[in-house]
Amino acid sequence: MSEKKRQKTERAPFDPVRHGLRADFRLTRFTKLKGWCKVPQEELLKLLAGLGSSLNISDGESLGAGLDCCVIPTRHEGISLVQTTDFFYPLVDDPYDQGRIACANVLSDLYAMGVTDCDNLLMLLGISTDLSKPERDVVTPLMMEGFRDCAEEAGTSVNGGQSVLNPWFIIGGVASSVCAKNEYIMPYNAVPGDVLVLTKALGTQIAVNAHQWIEQSETYQKIADVITKEGVRKAYESASASMSRLNRIGATLMRKYGAHGATDVTGFGLLGHAQNLAKCQKESVDFIIHSLPIIAGMSDTAKIAAKKIFDFKLHEGFSAETSGGLLIVLPKEKAGAFCQEIEELEGMPGWIIGDVTSGNHTAKIADDARVIEA
Amino acid sequence: MSEKKRQKTERAPFDPVRHGLRADFRLTRFTKLKGWCKVPQEELLKLLAGLGSSLNISDGESLGAGLDCCVIPTRHEGISLVQTTDFFYPLVDDPYDQGRIACANVLSDLYAMGVTDCDNLLMLLGISTDLSKPERDVVTPLMMEGFRDCAEEAGTSVNGGQSVLNPWFIIGGVASSVCAKNEYIMPYNAVPGDVLVLTKALGTQIAVNAHQWIEQSETYQKIADVITKEGVRKAYESASASMSRLNRIGATLMRKYGAHGATDVTGFGLLGHAQNLAKCQKESVDFIIHSLPIIAGMSDTAKIAAKKIFDFKLHEGFSAETSGGLLIVLPKEKAGAFCQEIEELEGMPGWIIGDVTSGNHTAKIADDARVIEA
């Protein structure tokens, strides 16, 4: 374990009082939207229609190209610019962790294309005008520090960016890598017989929401039958650690084991991203998902929440993830070794969650899909 | 004149009624901050202090490096990634023009380093949650179209980006160019005897504000002695056209005439940016500004506004510009030809506004500086 990782593990959770703030200070209150706040996909497509192919602001995902990054040939022979951007609103209350998550999330799009080296990060920051000066002085440096530390862990650095004042807190970035042809993996080479591997458990959205519910005793009572407050806190910690974790080792192993393509699981949920990935395949294939690894306790919580609070559609595969895992298409005979090696290197497992069959460019979750408590 | 430029010239100004919106719809009302909204430079420096050199979110400008872009060596021999980002809030009421201005503004940082070819643009968009659905449906596509058209005019395209919902409207982007060593100009080679050239007139901030004052008759009365409403409208149109204009020809001519360095004039005003540029010079030089080209009518308006409404500090060189001109250090014997050629190619003049002398890395405006009505 590197020095940096050990520091991270040993870091005390954010305590507003220790920083001179009110005990009830919560970063997530400085936005009305948590985490993902994308313009609805349909509306975006309508906006883009008619503007022509020279304007594509959805990273190609929803437009058929199926790429998590843009890949732009340059005027230098054999050299392309691989690039992505993402920013969002706070979804955890620890500013340092929020910074790490934002950084891991933006880098993840590069890793989904098998790019392991980021040449530069830009930081995008909107500091909430609703924060008092003392709050701002505590929160902003911690968030920047988390972002910077995560960048260092990824072997890159932050050079450039923009910071503005905005009603809601915004944190995000731009990740760029200048790549030769053998330094990225196009996502569209799945063949029947391949399998699907997922590198992080699902359920981050329900975990961050449940963590807010335990402070509202009326709401918590609605889920109290299936999970203790301590269980929610553990799930939240798992989610936060998962969202802070880089997908870089996954990207390295994608190259080592000859992945046929990948995407990362974020705002559209596991099935949403699987569908986008299926659509862009060269061969006529389907993706059939047979297993759903879910953060411990969150499967039952999601089920009862769907009835009594809000339906995140976790089991249907549409619950948004932030800084989720890589969904990787691998030759069947390589997948076991991939999962074994990622567990050795990261201390966290990967799961074989589905099959690639002959088909029609669709993805679905099997009726008898099983939940794996992770 | 290209087809695209002709279309732009002939395009009717934005009329909310023609688009089915209320006559008093104003894009600039969907933010409480107009245009530049940077975190104060001092506060930003404090935030960055202690985070180390691996985190630099101000494009180097205020940290001594003096660069408008970051220049990152890559793992490919002789190839660097030159990159910048900028986003801000609407400052004009025509959504199409606002899109063009945002695009010209982000590209300007590349041009300030003599980079003429942008490999990719990302678009950053925050759509205001305060807009009604019909307003959103009108405004957002127009803004994107303006951004896209300006990108095309610059010989590049928009691939990738992020769009979110946000209380205030946000528009901006990321410009990247993968460059060989001879494709950019470092800003720090001024020598005594050089002169300073400016490629756009000053006063965009006062023009966009005065344009709002003419709708508030009480405020307009305070400046009515020095300018007619028609005069304000003309200044606003000049400002809008100026902010939409690319600095690309300037960048091309910087290379042709062997510029010793440059910056673009934006949020810190002419003198703020001149001071940053002076600080980073290798030789011990001063910049002495003897002329202030100002959009017609705006010099008098700024003077009276300073007494009766708000002091933008235009004559002191600190009035923020959006998508302002290039401030270029040129060998004295080349400057005349540069100004002549830019006027031939763009139809708009450049001005020799100052001298480089032996000194102490400072910039100042001479006491007897003259205003040029532009």
Select the residue of A54, A122, A168 nearest B158 (Cβ to Cβ).
A54
Pairing of β B55-56 and β A351-358: unpaired
A98: tokens are: 């929020």
- Which segments of chain B does DSSP mark as H helices, in order? 3-10, 41-48, 95-111, 133-153, 204-213, 217-221, 229-244, 248-256, 269-279, 298-308, 332-346
DSSP letter (8 states) at residue A202: B
Are both B248 and B135 inside the same structural domain?
no
Q: A37-41, A74-78, A128-132, A255-259: which range is least confident on average?
A: A37-41
| Better pLDDT: A133 or A144 | A144
Q: Which chain A positions have a beta carbon within 8 Å of B33's beta carbon?
A: 165
Question: In this complex, is the C-beta atom of A165 within 8 Å of any C-beta atom belonging to chain B?
Answer: yes
| Cβ contact A148–B55 (<8 Å) | yes
Distance CA B269, CA B165 (A): 30
Type of residue found at A216: Q
DSSP letter (8 states) at residue B76: S
- CA neighbor of A34 nearest in space, from A129, A122, A101: A101
Are both B356 and B210 inside the same structural domain?
yes
Q: Which chain A positions have a beta carbon within 8 Å of B119's beta carbon?
A: 72, 74-75, 81
| Cβ contact A162–B85 (<8 Å) | yes
| Cβ contact A178–B79 (<8 Å) | yes
- Interior angle at CA A96, CA A94 and CA A98, nearest 5: 70
Are both A127 and A241 inside the same structural domain?
no
User: What strands, in cross-sheet order, belong to the sheet with A195-198?
Assistant: A261-264, A326-330, A195-198, A351-358, A285-294, A363-373
* Nearest chain B Cα distance for residue A10, angstroms: 19
Domain contains A346 = yes
Q: Which chain A positions have a beta carbon within 8 Å of B165's beta carbon?
A: 33, 37, 39
Q: Is the dihedral of CA A30, A34, A36, A42 positive or negative?
A: negative
pLDDT value at A129 more than 70: yes
pLDDT at A166 (0 to 100): 87
Domain contains B164 = yes
- Which segments of A154-289 does DSSP mark as H helices, in order? 204-213, 217-221, 229-244, 248-256, 269-279
The residue out of A118, A153, A183 marking a domain boundary is: A183
Distance CA B302, CA B310 (A): 8
**Count of structural domains, chain B:** 2
Q: What is the CATH number of the domain that holds B50?
A: 3.30.1330.10
Q: How many CB pairs under 8 A join A and B?
A: 208
Distance CA A29, CA B61 (A): 33
The residue out of B136, B161, B183 marking a domain boundary is: B183
pLDDT along chain B (374 residues), means of 10: 47 87 84 60 62 43 57 93 90 93 97 97 90 88 94 94 86 96 95 98 96 92 97 96 97 98 94 94 97 98 96 96 97 98 96 98 97 96
Q: What is the CATH number of the domain that holds B262?
A: 3.90.650.10
* Nearest chain A Cα distance for residue B178, angstroms: 7
Domain contains A174 = yes
The residue out of B149, B183, B217 marking a domain boundary is: B183
pLDDT value at A261 more than 50: yes
Q: Is the dihedral of CA A217, A223, A224, A230 positive or negative?
A: negative
| Cβ contact A56–B86 (<8 Å) | no
Are both B236 and B132 inside the same structural domain?
no
A37: annotated active-site residue: yes
pLDDT at B57 (0 to 100): 41
**Structural domain range at position A57:** 3-183
| Cβ contact A85–B162 (<8 Å) | yes
pTM score of the predicted model:
0.88
Domain contains A190 = no
Are both A128 and A78 inside the same structural domain?
yes
Are both A175 and A202 inside the same structural domain?
no
Chain A residue at shortest CA distance from B169: A166
Question: In this complex, is the C-beta atom of A151 within 8 Å of any C-beta atom belonging to chain B?
Answer: yes
| Better pLDDT: A261 or B3 | A261
Which residue bears the tokens 């058209």?
Answer: B149
b/e sequence A301-337, b meaning 16+ C-beta within 10 Å: bbbebbeebeebbbbebebbbbbbbbbbbbbeebbee
| Cβ contact A148–B172 (<8 Å) | no
| Better pLDDT: B131 or A239 | A239
Domain contains B190 = no
Average pLDDT of the residues of chain A: 89
Asked if A364 and A286 count as a contact pair (C-beta separation under 8 A), the reply is yes
Distance CA B278, CA A316 (A): 60
